[in-house]
Amino acid sequence: MDGTVLARLLASAALLALGGCLLGPDYARPKVDVPATYRFTQGEAAEIANVAWWEQFQDPVLDELIASALQENRDVKIAAARVDEFQAQFVTTRSALFPQIGAGADASRQRASAAAGIPIPNGISPIYNQFDATVSVAWEIDLFGKVRRQTEAARANLLASEEGRRATILTLVSNVASAYINLRSLDRQLEIAKETVESRGDSVRVFTLRFKGGEVSQMELAQSQSEYEAAKATVPQIELQIGQQENALSVLLGKNPGAILRGRELSTMGTPQIPNGLPSDLLERRPDLLQAEQTLVSENALIGAAKALYFPSISLTGLFGTVSSQFSNLFTGPARVWSFAGSVTQPIFTAGNISGQVRQAEARQQEALFSYEKSIQVAFQEVEDSLLAVQKTHEQLAVVGNQVESLHTYAHLARLRYEGGYTSYIEVLDAERSLFNAQLSYTQTQGAELTSFVTLYKAMGGGWVLAAEKLSVPQLPGSATPATPAVPTTPAAPVTPTDTAPVAHNAAPMGEPVALEAR
């Protein structure tokens, strides 16, 4: 009968808790000023923001590097561990909604003092045993929604951590692609520099012979030597940048600094399409915006948890068990014991403690709201900037390409005029110097154009982040590798073995394959 009373009491408390009120504001997505279209939108945009866009570069080595980074990058692993942390925190917070049940057993043997003032009856031994086994129940009834609001906040924090992991993946893929493109651009710049050094070296040797024969002045020889040294000085500068870029890319791959495999030449890499989408899509496509919104949800819920502190806290406790001085009688009817109790505590005067907590929660909610709104504005700006960069770098590349062709003609004609005695060697030097700089600028612009597509895909987000997230999940030995989502991509052209050979610029000339240890 006593157990029935306890069960009925707990059931009544459960109904009371479920019917309790929730304090504080319920979350509603704030209204934001979203433009109807992008300012620099293009008509040839395609619905491809949900595919593995990096495959459009048609470089298998880049695909392999991105897959390796998703598996090994430390930032991704840190973000995954953070998700586990918040998942455990959510479980811990939610557990307060349910009764906490515990069990215990004790056994003791002790001797009573005969000199303690309490006489021991004759024939009774001062030494006695005691055994007990109990089950206890404790439950704080969430009548005013404090625990439910805390649970709501913990769940939002968990979702925010998941979106934070996806944001890390988005940034990682973009950084690997940008670093690789920059590396291939530097490789091409190094080729141009070495070709220029070789060409100017030939000129110096010719001028040296002609100077000894009295055909040219020492000033012309010195000018030729100066331009040769100037071109030669650019080689170690570019090699330094290549080494640093390889080291940075290695860290993105989760490896120690080292050489990086090469695939396609910069000029043969495919050009991605411009992804389509409306500005309002960003609110659902960008992980960082979803993360900021979940942070706002969490802070909004904590306002209710803080306000619930004004109201009574109701707790129920119960105990059922047996106590006996003899173990053989421990589980008999006369040894049974039970108790249940309820308590209510109500704050009366806290000197502003609770009101201060409420104001803090409201201020944090406003801070999260403004951060969310700012994140949206920055996201719009990044997309607009990326769309503009795609357009203008494409235009710039065409202009610089025309400039290179013109300077080729200019340098050729200037040398012919010099050989014919119609002009000084200074004009030849000026033409060759301008051509060298224009060739470097053209290669840099090629890299900038491809990088602008990477930045655009990063700014627009999309379902491709979920596809990349699947690639980042470690596989147990013997398990099947998860299938890559079927995405429409342009077939990649075949890559020659020379293109994919790793390059160590401090160990071998450009273009010569260098053997790497098997990974």
Can you give the CATH number for the domain in which 255 is found?
1.20.1600.10
% the chain with pLDDT above 70: 84
% the chain with pLDDT above 90: 59
Residue predicted with more confidence, 494 or 289: 289
**Domain annotation covers residue 171:** yes
Is the pLDDT reported for residue 68 higher than 60?
A: yes
Report the range of poorest mean pLDDT among 49-63, 110-124, 203-217, 404-418. Answer: 110-124
Task: State the pairing for strand pair 313-324/336-345.
Answer: antiparallel
DSSP letter at 421 equals T
- The per-residue pLDDT for 7 is 54
CA distance 258 to 243: 8
**Domain annotation covers residue 397:** yes
CA distance 191 to 197: 10
**Domain annotation covers residue 90:** yes
Provide the pLDDT confidence category of residue 505 given band limits of 50, 70 and 90.
Answer: very low
Is the pLDDT reported for residue 486 higher than 50?
A: no
What does residue 191 show for φ and ψ, rounded to 5 degrees? Answer: -60, -45
Is the pLDDT reported for residue 135 higher than 70?
A: yes
- The per-residue pLDDT for 41 is 66
- The per-residue pLDDT for 498 is 38
**Domain annotation covers residue 351:** no
Is residue 500 within 8 Å of 180, Cβ to Cβ?
A: no
Total count of domains within the chain: 1
The CB-side HSE value for 298 (13 A sphere, CA atoms) comes to 21
**Domain annotation covers residue 283:** yes
* Nearby residues of 254 by Cβ (< 8 Å), 6 or more positions away: 68, 69, 71, 72, 73, 74
Is the pLDDT reported for residue 487 higher than 50?
A: no
Encode pLDDT of 330-388 as tens digits.
888 888 888 989 899 999 999 999 999 999 999 999 999 999 999 999 999 999 999 99
**Domain annotation covers residue 176:** yes
Provide the pLDDT confidence category of residue 8 given band limits of 50, 70 and 90.
Answer: low
Give the range of the structural domain holding residue 59, as residue numbers without chain letter: 31-108+148-303+366-471
Provide the pLDDT confidence category of residue 9 given band limits of 50, 70 and 90.
Answer: low
Q: Distances in Å between the alpha carbon of 31 and those of 294, 369, 372, 376? A: 15, 11, 11, 11
- The per-residue pLDDT for 116 is 67
Query: Could you tell me the pTM of the whole model?
Result: 0.81
Encode pLDDT of 402-426 as tens digits.
999 999 999 999 989 888 888 888 8
CA distance 411 to 415: 6
Instruction: Report the pLDDT averaged over residues 99-111.
Output: 90
**Domain annotation covers residue 17:** no
Residues in the chain: 519
Is the pLDDT reported for residue 501 higher than 70?
A: no
* Paired strand residues for 342: 316
Provide the pLDDT confidence category of residue 111 given band limits of 50, 70 and 90.
Answer: confident
Q: For the chain, what is the mean pLDDT?
A: 84
Q: Distances in Å between the alpha carbon of 325 and those of 105, 106, 118, 123, 357? A: 13, 11, 19, 17, 51
**Domain annotation covers residue 117:** no
Q: Is 475 exposed, middle or buried (0-12, 13-18, 19+ CB in 10 A)?
A: exposed
